[in-house]
Structure formats: C-alpha cells, structure tokens
Amino acid sequence: MKRMTLFCGHYGSGKTNLAVNYALYLRRKNLPVSLADIDIVNPYFRSKDSKDLLEKEGVKVIALPFANSSVDLPALPSETYALVEDKSRYAVLDIGGDDRGAYALGRFVPYILEENDYDMFYVVNFYRPLTTTVDEAIEVMREIEGACGLKFTGIINNSNLGQETTVEKIQATYERAQKLSETTFLPLVYTAAEESIATEDMVPLKLQRRPFEI
C-alpha cells in the first residue's frame, strides 16, 4: 500500500467512485486519509458529491469551494500541495478524465517522483465506447501518461453497464483486462463491481447516490 494512490482513466470509467471507496477503505484501517478532487474538466459527478459522507468517516476532503457549485472554473485549491508535502497522511487523488484531466496533475509530478511512494491506477470500463478494445484502452492510457508525465503502476477493471450491469457482463471483460495487463506489463490489481452484485473475486463498491431516481 503506497502513501499516494492516483485514479486516472477515460471519462466516465468510474474513477470517482473508486477513489471514494478506496479512501473509505483506508479509513476502516484507521489510517489518516486525505482525498483530493482534482478534476478540472467536469463540473458534474465529482467526489465532492460524497463530501459529507467522507468527512463523517474522517476523510479530509480537498476540493475547490467552486466544485459542484455550478461555477465552471478549472482551478485547483492551494491546499492540494499538502497532499504531496504532508507525508504523515495517505493521499487519494481523483483525477479528471482522459489526457485533458491528467494535465492538472503535472505540477505535482516532480514531488510524487521524488518521494516515489505512489500507485497510479488505470481505471478501465470496457463498456465505454472509446475504450471497448484493448488497443483503444492502451491509446487512452498512453495519452494520459503523456499528459501528466507519470507512468501507471496497475490496472483496475471497472467494466460496467450502469444499472444493467450483471456478473456475466463483467466476466465477459476478463479476457480483455488480462490482455491489457499482459500487453502493458502492468498488474491487474482488481476487478470492481457494485456491492449488490460483486462476487468473491471482485472488490465491492458503494456507488455515489443519484440525487433522485429517474
């Protein structure tokens, strides 16, 4: 378990849900955790949506006051630097989608490399239209690495079809996830699934709630 864990990937691959769940997992181990929402691309569906829950569980949430306020401002809070400088806490970073989201990470990369105690996970959902094949998934992966200047250390298979997800649908992506891992020489860290359907070989996720059912 590294001090810093970064979740990156294609838009809508599930980075935020994974980051929030991982931060809560660390808290359950009684570790001091900060979670930073450094998505400068998307003004909706952010880890700040779970701020109340996270803070109740003792996770320090670093997010712009503007996040989710409808102010569409691509900026980062100054306290984001505490993530790299305060080495007494575990840090979970929720990065914006694609290469465009990963650019925001660049300024922290020299610190991350110097400390060299990080994991950067590539979150992939093979049911997303621009990452349905192994080749497409690799293309997005390389674009992200190029944009932020940091190499991935592992892969998380978060393949899902939203509310139509089934165990079979997830299992149908195992082969592609394995191939992605072999082709990139990166370990497949785990496969994630929403907790009500997760089988024993999957990491169960509690998903951020929709504001209302539609």
Partner 1 sequence: MPEKVLMKGNEAIAEAALRAGCRHYFGYPITPQTELTAYMAKKLPKMEGGVFLQAESEISAINMVYGVAGTGKRVMTSSSSPGISLKQEGISYIAGADLPAVIVNVQRGGPGLGGIQPSQSDYFQATKGGGHGDYHLIVLTPSSVQEMADLTSLAFDLADKYRCPAMLLADGTMGQMMEPVALPEEKESGIEKPWAVTGTQMKREHNIINSLYLSPEVLEKTNFERFERYAEIEKNEVRYESYMMDDADYALVAFGIAARVAKNAITAMRKEGLKVGLIRPITIWPFPKKAIREAADKVKGFVSVELSMGQMIEDVKLAEECLRPVVLCNRAGGMIPSVDQIIKVTKELAEGGKN
* Contacts to partner 1 by CB under 8 A: 11-12, 43-45, 70, 72, 100, 125, 127-130, 132, 160-164, 212-214
Min dist. Cβ of residue 170 to partner 1 (A): 12
Closest Cα partner for 65 from 53, 48, 42? Answer: 48
CB 126 within 8 A of CB 159: yes
Min dist. Cβ of residue 27 to partner 1 (A): 27
| Largest separation between any pair of C-alpha atoms in the chain | 47
Residues 90-123, buried b or exposed e (16+ Cβ, 10 A)? Answer: bbbbbbbbbbbbbbbbeebeeebeeeeebebbbb
Min dist. Cβ of residue 56 to partner 1 (A): 25
Min dist. Cβ of residue 81 to partner 1 (A): 27
Q: Which is nearer to partner 1, 25 or 66 (CB)?
A: 66
Q: Which is nearer to partner 1, 129 or 200 (CB)?
A: 129
Q: What is the DSSP letter of 45?
A: S
Q: Which is nearer to partner 1, 146 or 162 (CB)?
A: 162
